[in-house]
Amino acid sequence: MALTLIALTNFFYFGLTLKESIFYIFCLYILIKALKLLYFFYKIFIRERKNLKGEYGSNTWALVTGATEGIGKAFCEELAIAGFNIILVSRTEDKLAKVACEIREINPEVKVSIIPFNFAEKTCSDQYINSFNEIMDYDISILVNNVGITMKDKFENLSFEEINSYIDLNITPQTMMTKLLFSTTLKRDKKSAIINISSTASNVAAPNRFSLYGATKSFNDYLSLGLGKDTNYKSKIDFMCVKPMMVESFQTNYKANGITVITAKQCVTGSLNCLGYDVSTFGHWIHQIQGNLLTLVPEEMFLFLTSFIVMIMKKNKTK
Ligand SMILES: NC(=O)c1ccc[n+]([C@@H]2O[C@H](COP(=O)([O-])OP(=O)(O)OC[C@H]3O[C@@H](n4cnc5c(N)ncnc54)[C@H](OP(=O)(O)O)[C@@H]3O)[C@@H](O)[C@H]2O)c1
């Protein structure tokens, strides 16, 4: 649209011929693409991670949901290494206790707290308020909204209960946890961060097993983008939505291979490198390349593409 306007201006205002206008527009188009590519390489290979403690405060807490496995656990480990005290939130109490011990071993300097909370069973505001009441006076500087359910099957094959669980686990926890901590984060002297874990499936409306999953995950992206754009919050909270592709985890059973599937640690390291810079990111550079390539695929090819991705997913499953 902008390029068409410039072409018309060249044509009518500067008196260039149509051929000359098209040539200059083409050059401009190539220049814009080249600059975008350069910025992309700068972002993934040169830009340095922000000093997280400096940004969000030392001796503060990071709260991570879905903290005992996969991406959530890797966030806890990486943030503990960075010096944050950790609040682990998940469903299973003995797994929480075990991961809490592991975190204390990784960094004995940090404090670790656990909150057993089943997001599938507790969905109303009172249950959230009561269960998290004990940590409301902690100085929580980073919230990682990670808990979520991954894609299972085509819409027609999902039961009503399964459909419900997509909403209960992919939409409600991120919204409620954000609301729960929102006013306290706004009152902090330092900035805070709210990281919402979405998925590349949120980037496009896609068929196959991606439709319901992608729809719930695009909610995560829009919540971050919308809140992140609000000038009232911008100076106080860094919102970031992470949209990974395939990550080795308990839920997915994928095996990392360094090309199509990455480890949870890689996913988290790549994501934290983007914190404070990007409101929406594919995270690790491998996923950034994959995600950007996906945006070039024409809509007509989505059915073929999603079937191809499902095939890769099945191939990378360990069981
Ligand atoms: N892995 C991927 O390829 C991938 C790709 C894109 C996006 N994502 C997203 O990344 C997030 C994490 O996925 P993941 O693959 O790392 O998962 P995961 O390894 O299966 O871990 C899930 C975590 O969530 C907890 N959890 C599950 N159900 C819960 C419930 N009802 N209430 C409280 N906690 C519950 C589990 O705790 P318990 O041990 O107590 O069950 C576990 O700690 C999800 O939002 C997912 O959609 C994953």
Q: Is the pTM of this model over 0.85?
A: yes
Arithmetic mean of pLDDT over the chain: 90
Kindly report the protein residue whose alpha carbon is nearest to atom 7 of ligand 1.
Answer: 199
CA angle in degrees (0–180, nearest 5) for 186-192-195: 115
Rounded to the nearest whole angstrom, what is the distance from the C-alpha of residue 162 to the centroid of ligand 1?
A: 15
Distance CA 66, CA 244 (A): 16
Please tell me the predicted confidence (pLDDT) of residue 2: 67
Delineate the domains of the chain, giving CATH numbers in brackets. 2-43 (no CATH), 52-315 (3.40.50.720)
Non-local (6+) Cβ contacts of 252 within 8 A are: 70, 150, 246, 313, 317
Kindly report the protein residue whose alpha carbon is nearest to atom 2 of ligand 1.
Answer: 247
Rounded to the nearest whole angstrom, what is the distance from the C-alpha of residue 33 to the centroid of ligand 1?
A: 37
Q: Is the pLDDT of residue 12 over 70?
A: no
Kindly report the protein residue whose alpha carbon is nearest to atom 46 of ligand 1.
Answer: 148
Q: Is the pLDDT of residue 25 over 70?
A: yes
**How many angstroms from the chain centroid is the CA of residue 48?**
19
Of 136, 141, 199, 191, which is closest to residue 171 (Cα–Cα)? 199
Q: What is the pLDDT of residues 187-208, one digit of tens each?
A: 999 999 999 999 998 988 777 7
C-alpha distance from residue 314 to each of 147, 253, 259, 261, 308 (Å): 22, 9, 15, 12, 10
Q: Is the pLDDT of residue 211 over 80?
A: yes
Residue 262: beta bridge partners? 247
Please tell me the predicted confidence (pLDDT) of residue 7: 63
